[in-house]
Amino acid sequence: MAQCERPSTKELWKKINQAREVFTARGFRPVDPSKLAANFTTLNLFSSQEQSDALLAALQEITPQNYSGARPPDKSYEVEVRGDDLFAFAWTSNYFGRRMYFKFCLHADGEGNHSLCVASLHKENIGKKKGP
């Protein structure tokens, strides 16, 4: 039963703070480079600096109350981060001036070092449009 309660507010704060620290120290890796590049293009984030600024803003704005992922968190199926917990957030962003969606995981290598792996950053999709 306790597993269904994951992630707790405490766990989410830990993951957000860890993601901030890892990003500041080592930057980020895209989970799927072409998908994240498409997200960045849609947001008009073309330079590495613009992309880094946007990710930093997202990391600074999200809180556990913005968590919108599964409980317990979904596991990544992408090869390089397979099995890692995915943390998804939806919030009203001051930086972007709209509702946003941000999903990441923290991937540990064999030596205990973590990488911030960004799965997506885009405008929040509120339901899919229905056909005519």
Residue 66 located in a structural domain:
yes
Query: Which CATH number fits the domain that encloses residue 70?
Result: 3.30.2310
Pick from 103, 66, 111: nearest CA to 85: 103
| Strands of 1-132, DSSP E | 29-30, 87-93, 98-108, 114-123
Report the number of distinct structural domains present in the chain. Answer: 1
Task: Tell me whether residue 25 is in a domain.
Answer: yes
The pLDDT assigned to 110 comes to: 83
Residue numbers of the domain that contains 67: 2-123
Euclidean distance between CA atoms 38 and 87, whole angstroms: 20
Residue with tokens 């997506």: 120
Which H helix or E strand runs over 3? none
Per-residue pLDDT tens listing for the chain (132 residues): 444 589 999 999 999 999 999 999 999 999 999 999 999 999 999 999 999 999 999 999 999 999 999 999 999 999 889 999 999 999 999 999 999 999 999 999 888 899 999 999 999 987 654 444
Collapsed DSSP state (helix, strand, coil) of residue 72 = coil
Global confidence as pTM = 0.91
Residue 53 resides in a domain: yes
The H or E element that residue 38 is part of is helix 33-42
